[in-house]
Structure 1
Amino acid sequence: MTRKKKALLTPLVVASATAMILSGCSTAEGDPTGSAGEPQTGGTLKVLSNGDTDHIDPQLIAYVPSNSITRTISRSILSYEASNDAAERSELVGDLATEVPEPEDGGLTYTITLREGTTWDAPDGARDIVSADVERGIERICNPYIGAALGGYFISLIEGMAEYCEGFAAVAPEIEPMKEYIESNDISGVETPDDKTVVFRLVEPASDFTSMLSLATANPAPVEVLDYLPDSPEYRNNFVASGPYTVAEHKPDVKLTLERNPSWNADSDPLRKAYVDSIEMTMGIEVDAGMQQLQAGSADMLFDLQPSPANIQQLTSVGDEKFTTLENGGVDQFLWFNTKTDNNDGALQKVEVRQALQYAIDKAAVVQVMGGEEIATVTNGIFGPGINGHEPFSLYGDGDGKADPEKAKQLLADAGIENLTLKFPYRNLGSQPDIAQTVQASLEEAGITVELFPVPPTDYYANFMTNRENATNGEWDIALVGWSPDWVGGAARSVYQPQFSFNGTPQAYNYVDYNNDEANELAAQALAASTPEEAGELWHQVDQTVMEDSPVVSIAAKKKANYHSDRVQNFAIYALAQNGDWANVWLSK
């Protein structure tokens, strides 16, 4: 499926494209925050999770729920206010930076000024966060031990970073060689004229660069991190925090405990009030058990769990104000085709076969499994509702999502394919088993044998799907994944570039190195568009071009559902986590 390789250009003018819709809506009249009276300090916020965070190391974060953790322990250059107002929570503001910088030098330069009073919780006591820490964080992005999943945005855009990373790739993935490389080499496009100033120089103008600076990938890194392998147990046990909390204990797949950071200076932090004394996340919890604990008041919030369709029906029927939803601009269910495998004599490498399978999936049935049309909707392209570039269209069928197994059978026969057997991993989490079984049933209606097998949720992305050998060796043929935009705002690039473009350097979430020159050219034009309307039309053409190749079946988008206990007050959404902000809720006594 990979065509002649051509790198996706970084943005040229990207105007302020239409903001990603994050419209939280309560299911009943009243205040969904649950706020009552004056804020109270103290107590332990009890969070329930099925799986673990993908990483503690901020540079490596890519899993949306993990942003809840990072928000509390590591401050970003830029960020967002927690709010239940869609416009307010989508507005970029300063975090470590005093303000959002304006582009200079024709859009090639951005100058960051760091706030006074921001500190690390260093082993020998509080220490100021300085510009060298910002530089070090950017340099760690492409370390050869475990590179940042979202690092490609920065590597292709910051002047000299591609060359820096090329040199870093030749370094042994060990502590001392990596430390020496970082301390002995610089990225020409990151300048630190003094302790409170960082100047970024770009290879091309990019008005979405400031949005990228809200990602944890760009967070500063203290000098102590160079003494440990990135995100290793030693790194985690010696975590140096900059947020209001720090890591007290982490037992993988069991429990995470955060406690107050004594070095945090509240006066320097406009975004986090840190009302609770500590945060405990308990893992290994199933959805129904988690909801029972929240409703009983023995736990407070959810991490990677969401109310089940049955829960949602019950909560909406009684008008429970603690249940809210929001659109996140993503597609909750993509079915990826493995075009790297020779399974079935390489059948999935044929575009005609992949297009035939588009007709076999009963998307409408999946929507019902996900909770019905009030919370989920059929999709047919790579962009979800709310992304500038999303427009309703369907290249396969009439767009309603109903399966046409006879059409699929005929097209497979035309392609000379018989006795197709597909290996299908799925996450044993929430409604994922039911969705996988629904897709299996659809495919079997079209005469396709499907072999389902579970993969633990914590391993699914981190160790299974992103392990490129699993694709090459044919460990899977089709797989369900979801994708949310990486930042808030005109975010089509954050959907397209990491999943559907390939410039010769493997990307974690482009599982089969998919690439299309025509789509890349259209994307480059969209990034250079002078108006959001022009950009949106070009991104829509990108969508259509990709779907003609059929690298995925786009199945459904789902609103993010959140729920919390009665004692949680000020439940306001932190946009990057798509959940209530742990750093700003308080607990009623």
Structure 2
Amino acid sequence: MAKIVETDEFREHMGGATLEYKGSTGQDVLLTAIAAGTPPDGGSNYSYVNWIIKNAQAVSGGSELADQDPLYGKIDEIGVRAVDDFTVEFTLNQPASFFPGIAQMWINWAQPEWLIKEKGDKWIEAENIQSYGPYALADWTHDVSMTLIANPFWPGTPEVPKPSIKYIYFTMLDDTPSFANYEAGLSDVSTVPLSEMDRIKADPVLSKELVTAPEYCTYYYGFNVTKPPFDDANVRKAFSWAIDRQAIVEYVTKGGQVPARWFSRPGLTAAPSPDLGDDFGPPVTADPEKAREFLAASKYGSADKLPEITLMANQVEGHVKIAEAIQQMWQENLGVKVNLVTQEWKVYLDTLDQDPPQVWRLGWCYDYADADNFARGVFRSDSGNNHTKWVNPEYDKIVDQAAIETDLQKRHDLYVQAEKILVEEDAAIIPIYWYTLVHITKPWVERTYGLGDHQHFEKWKLNK
């Protein structure tokens, strides 16, 4: 956009026909945008992303005393309008240079209004779904597998060409069984379990098939700041300063990950740059002396006065290995024994929503490549992604100001201030590392590597 204004209007690409020969229209984009913010239950879990659109927060039930808000549930009041079949107009609450990124998110992709009216929630099943794009859904066995088929009606564009691979079959497996299938010749691409990294790197064949690529994701531990002993910022700092991030990426994950000293990964628009200096945020290598000083300065005073502590993670081999390494660091550097509890992923997410433990792990990958998606989208006090129960009005004020600032350097400087509060002054979280994508791929697959693991299979080729 040449100029940031309160109404953001742009052309939607509507060139592709669906499998039923119906082109998607501006009305379909309109339906999608308002559906993301439609009650009950606040609409989509991602409805907050669209709260920058006029009235979307109040309509979706995101405002205080939501059910008493006169706009609650009135979807016609959301600031989205289909001007014609090819144009959608969004009216925003404030200027937002990052809004085109939000408009391109999956929650705002066009959906077929006629099909949703006919099938309701079942419209996304393989036997019903109609979509636009280079691939269509052929089969979906929930939690097991998914098959995509090349869309014969996709015309191809310079950015999104016609696919050359006719079928793509996914199996929904954890790293270890996925890699076993890869070695058995049952799959062409796989993620890599941590336990196999050394063997793969030493193998003359497998090492050539291993690729690591940057990802705009951050691996972190969060504290429930309402539960002792992490109701004390000095205790939180002690636990953060006691972690050797360099050792974790070098000896545990081994996939080229980068030790993280703040949350918003460098490379995102307006995110803090890597040249901030070693005195910003927690250290890359552990500082046991400083960590013990923080603990001594806390209201607890010493390790023996801390209550029993539980660290929770989901049941994935890599997360468990990282947690065990950090357990050992806390034992060695602080003299604190921490219990580790793991849960199945869906149960784990429910736990974080309902009653977060004292300390827990998560990762965050970008939805749109801007620091706003990290700093404000995750840790603003009213974000549904903020499981820390941490509230800091000054932090909220800074990230809100950064969201409307149009000068890139000023936005960067504001996010530096926000990150300093988040990871250093209040230490509400422990940033651990910035992800890399670690895949192993058969030599006959010519592929691209999308940021955030957003793959563009239409650009892949099979050479066999």
Provide the aligned C-alpha RMSD in A: 3.3
Aligned counterpart in structure 2 of residue 258 of structure 1, from 148, 152, 158: 148
Matched position secondary structure for 2:305: coil
Provide the C-alpha distance between the structure 2 equivalents of 1:495 and 1:226, rounded to a whole number of angstroms. Answer: 35
Describe how 1:141-152 pairs up with structure 2 within 5 A. 141-143=36-38, 144-145=40-41, 147-152=43-48
Asked whether 1:284 is paired with 2:173, we answer yes
Per-residue deviation, 1:356 = 2.6
Aligned to 2:374: 495
Higher relative contact order (CA 8 A, sep 6+): 1
Aligned counterpart in structure 2 of residue 368 of structure 1, from 230, 238, 250: 250
Aligned counterpart in structure 2 of residue 294 of structure 1, from 175, 182, 197: 182
Deviations 1:456-498 (A, max 9, x none): 245544x443x2x122xxxx2211111222223xx11111112
Asked whether 1:190 is paired with 2:80, we answer yes
Instruction: Give 5+ residue unaligned stretches, structure 1.
Output: 1-101, 172-177
Provide the C-alpha distance between the structure 2 equivalents of 1:207 and 1:573, rounded to a whole number of angstroms. Answer: 26
Aligned to 1:380: 261
Indicate conservation of the 8 Å contact 2:12/2:86, yes or no.
yes
Asked whether 1:424 is paired with 2:311, we answer yes
Provide the C-alpha distance between the structure 1 equivalents of 2:374 and 2:217, rounded to a whole number of angstroms. Answer: 8
Matched position secondary structure for 1:200: strand
Deviations 1:508-532 (A, max 9, x none): 3211343322223333443454543
Provide the C-alpha distance between the structure 2 equivalents of 1:540 and 1:216, rounded to a whole number of angstroms. Answer: 29
Aligned counterpart in structure 2 of residue 526 of structure 1, from 381, 386, 402: 402
Asked whether 1:351 is paired with 2:247, we answer no
Counterpart residue type for residue 366 of structure 1: I
Per-residue deviation, 1:534 = 2.9
Indicate conservation of the 8 Å contact 2:216/2:435, yes or no.
no
Aligned to 2:162: 273
Aligned residues: 448
| Pair 1:283–1:485, CA change in 2 (3 A) | closer
Aligned to 1:516: 392
Provide the C-alpha distance between the structure 2 equivalents of 1:117 and 1:358, rounded to a whole number of angstroms. Answer: 50
Counterpart residue type for residue 355 of structure 2: N
Matched position secondary structure for 1:328: strand
Deviations 1:98-150 (A, max 9, x none): xxxx356x5222323344543334xxx32121111000000111232573343
Provide the C-alpha distance between the structure 2 equivalents of 1:209 and 1:443, rounded to a whole number of angstroms. Answer: 41
Asked whether 1:134 is paired with 2:29, we answer yes
Provide the C-alpha distance between the structure 2 equivalents of 1:167 and 1:349, rounded to a whole number of angstroms. Answer: 27
Instruction: Give 5+ residue unaligned stretches, structure 2.
Output: none
**Percentage of pairs with the same residue:** 18
Provide the C-alpha distance between the structure 2 equivalents of 1:118 and 1:531, rounded to a whole number of angstroms. Answer: 36
Per-residue deviation, 1:419 = 4.3
Describe how 1:222-233 pairs up with structure 2 within 5 A. 222-223=112-113, 224-226=115-117, 230=121
Per-residue deviation, 1:437 = 0.7
Provide the C-alpha distance between the structure 1 equivalents of 2:238 and 2:62, rounded to a whole number of angstroms. Answer: 44
Describe how 1:185-224 pairs up with structure 2 within 5 A. 185-223=75-113, 224=115
Per-residue deviation, 1:254 = 1.8
Indicate conservation of the 8 Å contact 1:422/1:451, yes or no.
yes
Aligned to 2:429: 552
Q: Which has the higher helix share?
A: 2
Describe how 1:15-94 pairs up with structure 2 within 5 A. none
Aligned counterpart in structure 1 of residue 5 of structure 2, from 96, 107, 123: 107
Provide the C-alpha distance between the structure 2 equivalents of 1:458 and 1:294, rounded to a whole number of angstroms. Answer: 26
Counterpart residue type for residue 365 of structure 2: S
Asked whether 1:541 is paired with 2:417, we answer yes
| Pair 1:284–1:167, CA change in 2 (3 A) | closer
Aligned counterpart in structure 1 of residue 213 of structure 2, from 318, 326, 331: 326
| Pair 1:394–1:555, CA change in 2 (3 A) | farther
When normalised by structure 2's length, the TM-score is 0.84
Counterpart residue type for residue 428 of structure 1: Q
When normalised by structure 1's length, the TM-score is 0.68
Per-residue deviation, 1:324 = 2.5
Aligned to 1:441: 328
Per-residue deviation, 1:247 = 2.8
Indicate conservation of the 8 Å contact 1:335/1:480, yes or no.
yes
**After alignment, is 143-152 or 131-140 more displaced?**
143-152
Per-residue deviation, 1:278 = 1.7
Aligned to 2:456: 581
Provide the C-alpha distance between the structure 2 equivalents of 1:450 and 1:362, rounded to a whole number of angstroms. Answer: 16
| Pair 1:153–1:534, CA change in 2 (3 A) | same
Asked whether 1:336 is paired with 2:222, we answer yes
Per-residue deviation, 1:279 = 1.8
Aligned to 2:201: 315
Matched position secondary structure for 1:353: helix
Matched position secondary structure for 1:553: strand
Provide the C-alpha distance between the structure 1 equivalents of 2:452 and 2:281, rounded to a whole number of angstroms. Answer: 33
| Pair 1:241–1:370, CA change in 2 (3 A) | farther
Counterpart residue type for residue 101 of structure 2: S
**After alignment, is 314-323 or 265-274 more displaced?**
314-323
Counterpart residue type for residue 341 of structure 2: F
Matched position secondary structure for 1:354: helix
Provide the C-alpha distance between the structure 1 equivalents of 2:92 and 2:229, rounded to a whole number of angstroms. Answer: 43
Aligned to 1:15: none
Per-residue deviation, 1:416 = 8.9
Matched position secondary structure for 2:309: strand
